[in-house]
Chains A and B, each alone.
Chain A
């Protein structure tokens, strides 16, 4: 499957990945009029700081054994046997947020604006190109690679 690989050493915490991700879901506008305080503007990824102030990029791994999909009781979160990705269908979602509680890395969250769906990486699958986060990383701390 294709996964976004992370080289945390190369991350300088610029958050271009997060802005690119949030912008990718906006119906219109450009990167220059994005309002980060707008609850509708949300990134699937984020960058954590560890106790030594090192940057630790937090991106959905589309895990081999996804705890999110295995705790989903509505069929909204499903591991795709063909591509290996974990897809999320907000129309099926029952807002139980078991996935949020069960992601061992704390990647998932309810959306800020409505609290009615889960903010989850979709690999920019409908955009027909490389994920926006990867395209916008200036240090190549993230890149897409075929893995087992």
Chain B
């Protein structure tokens, strides 16, 4: 990641924004979510079950990383805007960059959904997680496109096109594996089991979102749930897989309470910047 471009977000737009701190947290939550899943998917690069699918999951990883960069750049602009509205600052009053936000924050600062940080597991787990996530992201970006914040709406408009391809691809693979061989079906059943307590969080608003919903800045997640459930039930039914909505689910990622897996992911991803500060390559 290099930051050689002229910043493209118009600063005068920020001046009138209310709830700036909550907005920064919200944008960081979206950035962290796409970065962490992009990183997990990139672990398949060179290890995919077939060359074409290795390329596919790596492409999805790249799209998610690109979306993360757009969110981090926006967050950095907001943080740099005086007066300093967010506790994350750099020493010597240096301006914050997208790279600082990705590489120099710790696990408890990350606000990604728990589902994105779970280890990649087998191909079935990766596919089902991607389907759950892309299905959520598709309806999420559709709604965020209408955000009263034009900068977030622009990122959503751009990203939606990419997510449409991810959703189509992952839906096809859920069906192919679920309705495939005995082994592929067994692995998909395990994935359905392993993920059942992790999709509930996708529809749980965090504290910083509640204030933003009133201003039509962020997406009302509770409204997405019926759309998500309907699509998921249709695809899983076609894949001959059972789908049960649990009454309890894991949450905490959005406020910085993570599984033990995130720390290991960050340790690997951030090692270079932390061991050799300011190095570029």
Q: Are A and B physically bound partners?
A: no
Report A's interface with B, CB cutoff 8 A.
none
